[in-house]
Amino acid sequence: MNIKISVKNLSVFFGNVQALKDINLDVPANKILAIIGPAGSGKTTFLRCLNRLNDIDPDMHFTGEILLNGKSIYTEDTNPVELRRRVGMIFALPVPLPMSIFENVVYGPRLSGIKDKRRLEEIAEKSLKEAFLWDEVEERLDEPALKLSGGQQQRLCIARTLALKPEVILMDEPCSGLDPVSTSKIEEAMMQLKRDYTIIIVTNNTKQAARVADNTAFFLMGELIEYGNTEKIFTAPSDRRTEDYISGKFG
């Protein structure tokens, strides 16, 4: 099994508050990993360590190591800007930037220095197709992205991340504000995308984890309680707390 991301003894603190406690976890390539757990269990913090978005909080410090393709992402000479192109992120609420649909998708490629209009158009089309949005916006790429519906906006955000040609896609509760139809479209896209990308999804919806994930990790109060094959976690969890959470006894 090809390991994409390897997390070793990761502990994260914000000021004096410990958000993650000694996490050890290997993420296999081209699979979907779901991270489940009640609010405040450190799921989002964990995700934001993987693209170093936690760096923008001056109170954050950590111990441990995170390897991407076997190389630490927190060394002196890793450039977080370059890392974030390789590890893309989808946020809980779709946040289209207040510019056109086209400009949203090519935001990343433009930053990496691509100026050729034809190239950018190709990237936009390919990314929008991969995110299952092309057919709906093909005719109106110059319209403001804010005019799209919520579900379309989230798929636009996915396309925008895909345009970076990342290796890993982090999704932070990407369907929390969406209706069932939009959710199923995004899940459909995820199943296609895992052929080319490694996906890590944080979700509050255990059913969603069961539907899409190959592997599932259960976080509770900053600790990784259980991690394994999704089917095993959902049918025969080895920890009592996992079972209680999945069966809805708390959370």
Partner 1 sequence: MRIDPKVSQKIITLILGIATGITLFILLYIIIFMLGRGIPVLSWKFLSTFPAKMGKAGGILPTIAGTFVLTLVAIIIATPLGVGAAIYLVEYTGERKIIKIIRFGAECLAGIPSIIFGLFGLSLFVVILKMGWSILSGGLTLAFMIIPTIIRTSEEAIKTVPYSYREVSLSLGATKWETVKKVVLPNALPGIVTGIILGVGRSIGETAAVIFTAGSSLRLPTSLFDSVRTMSVHFYILSKEGISEKNAFGTAAVLMILILAINLIAYWIMHRFTRRNV
Q: Which residues sit at the interface with partner 1, rule CB under 8 A?
A: 51, 53, 56, 58, 81-82, 84-85, 88-89, 91, 93, 95, 97-100, 107-108, 111-112, 144, 146, 157, 160-161, 164
Amino acid at 3: I
Cα separation, 97 vs 224, whole angstroms: 34
Q: How far is CA 86 from the centre of its chain?
A: 12
CB of 236 to partner 1, least distance (A): 36
Between residues 4 and 84, which has the closer beta carbon with respect to partner 1? 84
Between residues 91 and 134, which has the closer beta carbon with respect to partner 1? 91
Between residues 71 and 240, which has the closer beta carbon with respect to partner 1? 71
Encode burial over 35-74: b for 16+ CB neighbours within 10 A, e otherwise: bbbeeebbbbbbbbbbbbbbeeeeebebebebbbeeeebb
CB of 111 to partner 1, least distance (A): 5
CB of 117 to partner 1, least distance (A): 18
* Cα-only R_g, the chain: 18
Structure tokens at 51: 């693209």
CB of 218 to partner 1, least distance (A): 25
Amino acid at 224: L
Between residues 12 and 83, which has the closer beta carbon with respect to partner 1? 83
Between residues 43 and 160, which has the closer beta carbon with respect to partner 1? 160
17, 27, 69, 118, 227 from 22: Cα distances, Å? 14, 16, 21, 47, 14
CB of 76 to partner 1, least distance (A): 18
